[in-house]
């Protein structure tokens, strides 16, 4: 609207010709100047300028709409308000039907928590016939970390939808609807986006999954300006894909640690005097870290819905951390042969910063290491009371197989 030509707005010829003679062609050109600047540039009086600006503003300003009229439009154009049901009753109810069309939905969580499992289930649901609650369409699955498993997908499908998968040829037909791309670099991914855009605009795909965006960027750039520029372009392009194609786009994101203090040890007072390395327990808080979503604040603002997959005390949680249609809720879940299943469909409302908190067993290892490191340095580097032999690990602290696996980023849960 801002680029609409003034000559096409119906202004009186006397004033419209003056605008054209002064090379003020669009509404943006006129509205970017003050009234006094226009008076000087056009050589007309304040009354004429004020009247012209009011008319231009009225023409280009979008009309006001009530919440009721917007709701009526949504009902009339149901495809604009469509959703991909997740078959998780509590989540679908909270999101008013499931993963919404036309926006970007993000899954955040540590390695092995279940992000890829959830994506596999969504891909199946989008390829299901409409009669079975699916979208009966093709899926574009961008598998950055080579975690896509056809065998696991078939297992999830046969356990979740046996009446569909055991029909002759149906499993093969559904698998043929899922197009898997495995870009090896950000450049290769970027080149494929134009082809993806064409497929989406031709209505040949009903779901786009990117697993994961963070892995694409981390492989190309460090924490520098070029990385942020690349991310900004991809944010804009992915959002435009969602809006233009009116399909759900699901993107997974990894987590990174953020320390409360950039330095582990303090070597100098603010007055310049030297200080021995502080290793007492009160300084361990400087080593304490917490997990946050990768990709930064600009990415967080770009996504419309953020689902955090978290683990505390051996229990997994899915949290609705950001949504324009739901309060902050969390659901307990487990991973079964049929994929992610909620233990209860009654979500628990979470208040305060806890809704964005991300936990990992890896943090337990970090705290173990911090404790042992402080112990060693506190003893002047002596090995008194410190034995790393056998299964006990550092300082007699036993690491379970699960903790070691999580700390190393392993696991097959995505």
- Higher-pLDDT residue of 215 and 12 is 12
Return the closest-CA partner of residue 360 out of 296, 407, 300: 407
261: enclosing H helix or E strand:
none
pLDDT tens sequence across 263-289 = 333 333 334 444 344 444 444 444 445
Length of the chain: 414
- Higher-pLDDT residue of 346 and 361 is 346
CA angle, residues 130, 208, 170, in degrees to nearest 5: 40
What are the boundaries of each domain within the chain? Answer: 6-60, 79-217+229-258+289-366
Mean pLDDT, the chain, integer: 77
Return the closest-CA partner of residue 143 out of 204, 85, 215: 215
Which whole-number Å values give the CA distances from 142 to 16, 25, 117, 180, 189, in the listed order? 52, 44, 14, 6, 9
Give pLDDT, residue 401. 33
Phi-psi region of 339 (alpha: psi -120 to 50; beta: other; left: phi over 0): left
Dist CA 70 CA 75 (whole Å): 9
Does this model's pTM top 0.75? no
Sole residue written with tokens 């009753």 = 89
Mean pLDDT of 336-359: 89
Exposure of 288 in the CB half-sphere (CA atoms within 13 A)? 8
Dist CA 137 CA 134 (whole Å): 8
Sole residue written with tokens 């989406």 = 200
Dist CA 385 CA 380 (whole Å): 13
Show the tokens assigned to 11.
Answer: 């202004």
pLDDT tens sequence across 16-62 = 899 999 999 898 888 889 999 999 999 999 999 999 999 988 888 87
Show the tokens assigned to 320.
Answer: 């609705």
Show the tokens assigned to 294.
Answer: 């990768």
Dist CA 192 CA 170 (whole Å): 29
Q: Assign 3-state DSSP to the chain and report helix, strand, coil percentages, each to 5.
A: 45, 20, 35
Sign of the dihedral defined by the CA atoms of residues 238, 244, 250, 256, in that order: positive
Give pLDDT, residue 8. 85
Q: Which CATH class is domain 79-217+229-258+289-366?
A: alpha beta
Q: For 347, which DSSP code?
A: P
Give pLDDT, residue 376. 60
Q: For 110, which DSSP code?
A: -
Dist CA 353 CA 358 (whole Å): 10
CA angle, residues 320, 324, 328, in degrees to nearest 5: 30
Contact 302, 292 (CB under 8 A): no
């Amino acid at each position: 609207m801002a680029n609409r030509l003034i000559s096409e707005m119906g202004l009186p010829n006397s004033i419209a010709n003056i605008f054209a003679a002064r090379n003020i062609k669009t509404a943006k050109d006129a509205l970017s100047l003050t009234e006094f600047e226009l008076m000087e540039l056009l050589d007309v009086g304040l009354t004429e300028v004020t009247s012209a600006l009011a008319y231009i503003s009225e023409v280009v300003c979008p009309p006001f709409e009530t919440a009721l009229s917007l709701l009526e439009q949504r009902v009339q154009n149901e495809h604009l308000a469509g959703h991909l049901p997740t078959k998780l009753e509590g989540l679908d109810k909270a999101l008013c039907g499931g993963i919404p069309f036309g926006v970007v939905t993000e899954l955040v969580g540590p390695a092995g928590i279940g992000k890829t499992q959830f994506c596999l289930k969504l891909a199946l649901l989008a390829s299901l016939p409409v009669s079975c609650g699916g979208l009966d369409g093709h899926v574009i699955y961008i598998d950055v970390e080579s975690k896509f498993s056809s065998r696991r997908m078939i297992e999830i499908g046969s356990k979740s939808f046996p009446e569909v998968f055991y029909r002759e040829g149906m499993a093969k037909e559904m698998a043929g609807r899922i197009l898997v791309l495995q870009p090896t670099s950000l450049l290769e991914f970027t080149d494929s986006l134009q082809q993806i855009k064409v497929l989406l605009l031709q209505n040949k795909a009903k779901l786009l999954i990117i697993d994961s965006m963070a892995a694409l960027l981390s492989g190309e750039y460090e924490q520098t300006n070029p990385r942020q520029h690349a991310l900004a372009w991809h944010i804009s392009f992915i959002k435009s894909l969602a809006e233009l194609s009116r399909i759900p786009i699901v993107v997974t994101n990894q987590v990174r640690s953020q320390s409360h203090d950039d330095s582990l040890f303090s070597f100098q007072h603010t007055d310049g005097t030297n200080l021995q390395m502080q290793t007492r327990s009160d300084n361990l808080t400087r080593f304490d870290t917490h997990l946050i979503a990768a990709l930064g604040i600009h990415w967080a603002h770009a996504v419309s819905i953020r689902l955090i997959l978290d683990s505390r005390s051996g229990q997994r949680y899915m949290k609705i951390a950001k949504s324009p249609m739901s309060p902050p809720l969390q659901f307990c879940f487990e991973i079964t042969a049929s994929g992610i299943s909620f233990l209860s469909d009654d979500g628990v409302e979470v208040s305060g910063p806890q809704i964005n908190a991300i936990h990992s067993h890896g943090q337990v290892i970090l705290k173990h290491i911090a404790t042992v490191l402080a112990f060693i340095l506190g003893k002047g580097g002596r090995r008194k009371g410190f034995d790393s032999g056998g299964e006990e690990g550092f300082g007699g602290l036993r690491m379970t197989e699960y903790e070691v696996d999580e700390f190393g980023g392993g696991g097959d849960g995505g």
